[in-house]
Structure 1
Amino acid sequence: MNPAFAAAGASIRAVSALSPRAGAAIAMPLFASVAKPRPVHDDDAATMSQARRRTVRIPGVDRRGVEVVTYEWGRGPRTVVLSHGWLGRASQFSRLVRELVAEQYRVVAFDGPAHGESGGRQMYLVDWLDVYADLQQRHGAFEAMIGHSFGGLATLVAVAGGTDAARVVTISSLADADELLRQFQRMVGYSDAVTVRLRERFAARYFPGDPDPFAWLSAVRRPLPAGVPLLITHDERDRFVPFGESVRIRSANPDATFLPTTGLGHNRILGADVVLDAVLEHLESPVGAPAGVLERPAATVEPGIPVDQPATPVPV
């Protein structure tokens, strides 16, 4: 935890001892803030340099507008959309991009607000949904959507809400927005009473008039539509998003294919051969093919794949 975040956490705990409502007011902007974007890894730079770049303007957290940078590779008729997670960026998918382009897919990714090359300093899950809407209008129905971590939750919420995608893949995904609040509480160390107030404040700030936005910001309470094949993969030793989150996702989507791994962590899993192979097989398998639990692979560490880095919980 960086010093500024630690100091803010101490303030939240001190104030919330007197007033949980006041503590939640202090916590709210911290919950919505994004740290400095990670740099592009050297091994990813060549892939990113080959992308066709475009800028999309979406409303953003403050509804004043924010510029989001999108990237496109390949010119095939089948479009696959990639969604990074909190403190991530599109470049993390470079190995997967190369694999998909080789298979004649058109691949589209983006840097969410306050991430990578995009503008802004805050973000929430609806930003991802706004980007998907723009991409769908431009490219039509998606062959597949693939999301990592927070991006996995955004992908599940989007397709459950009507985004047209034939298949879905989640990697190290959260199961619902409530887990973000739980992670933030564990990190800062405030009381359950503050969490309740923060939840209320968050809903009122970003979803005015919606009596329970957390009901639809959930892959558990709102599973994918019937007939949309889902591949779930997650490492049992993930230090940032509990493995149990993907277990919860599968419980709500019992026809999903589940690939657990051991030793790949939260980020290295993105470039592991066993995961890349499973993704490509999932995209090519016929709709209605038998699902289940794939054989658990041994851990592999691919060169050039970033190791896990501490992540700050995110706003939805």
Structure 2
Amino acid sequence: MPYVPTAVSTGFRVLSAVAPPLAVRLAARTFWHFGPPAPVRPADRAVHDRAARGTVSVGDERLVTYRWGDRDAPAVLLAHGWKSRASRFAPLVTALREAGLAAVSFDGVAHGDSTGRRMSALDHMAAIRAVHDTEGPFTAVVGHSLGGLAAGLALADGFPADRFVSVATMTGFDALAGAFLRLVGMPASLHDRFCDHVERTFPGDVRDIRTRVDLVRHPVPARVATLFVQDDDDRMSLPSGAPLLRAAVPGSELLTTRGLGHTRVLDDPAVVAAVVAHVTAPRPATARR
């Protein structure tokens, strides 16, 4: 879970009690402030440095892409989460390469080595499509947290892939907002006011963001073999959302873990093995187009 200084969370709690409108406005500004990009973890450095790098444009921003493996090998696209970066998938990249697959990822807008100052789920969806155009096609997509939400919505919009793994993914914008409010210490009573304010001020004059960014209302197509992975101790992506996501996608599977939280689930050998098994499993004859 991203770290929030105690002084910040205390300030938001006090302000929420004495001046709710001001608390909502300041929280909305904070919501878009990503701060310095996350560094590459020492444990991930060797994998990060082995990648073949490229760039892709999304609007006015230049995103850095990473490929591990041959271009003629079946490729899996990896979409990272909020305040993360491509290198965070290092254990999975290693396992995919050992299975004979190529792995492709990217640093989202305002993340890692890419440009930009703020990123939404819609920006992440646009990045996924742009990376497909330069590095695809992809046999499968794996997304973590916000990356899972964006990848799922992209699949709902027709993004071409046969398999999908969603790790620690929120159900939609409301769940993402709820995670943020818990993180900064604001009460649930201000949830709707906060969401409405963000929706009114969303970049690009996008409307109906609470409905549009919702993986239950806009689920992954049943033709895409889908695995949801959820840890019972995840305080960012609450476990209560996973059954809703699974129910929205007929035939999907749910893998639950315990004690790994929101990000350490990406390092767990059993989870990595389950993800590789899912993306390499043969498609049932009834699922072939």
Alignment match of 2:167 (pick from 159, 167, 171)? 171
Matched letter for residue 2 of structure 1: P
Matched letter for residue 46 of structure 2: A
Which TM-score applies when normalising by structure 2? 0.87
SS of the counterpart of 1:199? Answer: helix
Distance 1:120 1:10, change over 3 A: farther
- 1:103 Cα deviation (Å)? 2.3
Q: Is the 8 A contact 2:37 2:111 kept in 1?
A: yes
SS of the counterpart of 2:201? Answer: helix
Matched letter for residue 220 of structure 2: L
- 1:243 Cα deviation (Å)? 1.5
1:70 partnered with 2:65? yes
- 1:191 Cα deviation (Å)? 5.6
SS of the counterpart of 1:218? Answer: coil
Distance 1:115 1:11, change over 3 A: farther
Q: Is the 8 A contact 1:231 1:258 kept in 2?
A: yes
- 1:81 Cα deviation (Å)? 0.6
Q: Distance in 2 between matches of 1:192 and 1:148?
A: 24
- 1:162 Cα deviation (Å)? 1.6
Q: Deviations over 1:84-103 (max 9, x none)?
A: 11121111111111111222
Q: Distance in 2 between matches of 1:273 and 1:185?
A: 31
The aligned residue for residue 103 of structure 1 is 99
1:1-316 correspondence runs (5 A):
1-2=4-5, 5-6=8-9, 9=12, 12-13=15-16, 16-17=19-20, 20=21, 22-59=22-59, 65-75=60-70, 76-190=72-186, 194-206=190-202, 211-288=207-284
- 1:210 Cα deviation (Å)? 5.3
- 1:149 Cα deviation (Å)? 1.2
- 1:205 Cα deviation (Å)? 2.8
Q: Distance in 2 between matches of 1:289 and 1:168?
A: 18
The aligned residue for residue 306 of structure 1 is none
Q: Distance in 2 between matches of 1:77 and 1:48?
A: 19
Q: Which runs of 5+ in 2 are unaligned?
A: none
Q: Which moved more, 1:264-273 or 1:89-98?
A: 264-273
Q: Percent identity?
A: 34
Q: Distance in 2 between matches of 1:164 and 1:37?
A: 30
Matched letter for residue 69 of structure 2: G
- 1:10 Cα deviation (Å)? 5.5
Which TM-score applies when normalising by structure 1? 0.80
Structure 1 runs of 4+ off > 4 angstroms? 189-194, 207-211
Matched letter for residue 25 of structure 2: A
Matched letter for residue 224 of structure 2: V
Q: Distance in 2 between matches of 1:24 and 1:262?
A: 33
Q: Distance in 2 between matches of 1:192 and 1:10?
A: 11
Q: Is the 8 A contact 1:13 1:189 kept in 2?
A: no
Q: Which runs of 5+ in 1 are unaligned?
A: 60-64, 291-316
Superposition CA RMSD, Å: 2.4
Q: Is the 8 A contact 1:238 1:265 kept in 2?
A: yes
Q: Is the 8 A contact 1:227 1:288 kept in 2?
A: no
Q: Deviations over 1:233-285 (max 9, x none)?
A: 11112233212222221121131111111222222221222112211211122
Q: Is the 8 A contact 1:33 1:123 kept in 2?
A: no
SS of the counterpart of 1:72? Answer: strand
Q: Is the 8 A contact 2:216 2:244 kept in 1?
A: yes
- 1:212 Cα deviation (Å)? 2.0
SS of the counterpart of 2:75? Answer: strand
Q: How many residue pairs align between the two structures?
A: 282
Q: Distance in 2 between matches of 1:136 and 1:253?
A: 23
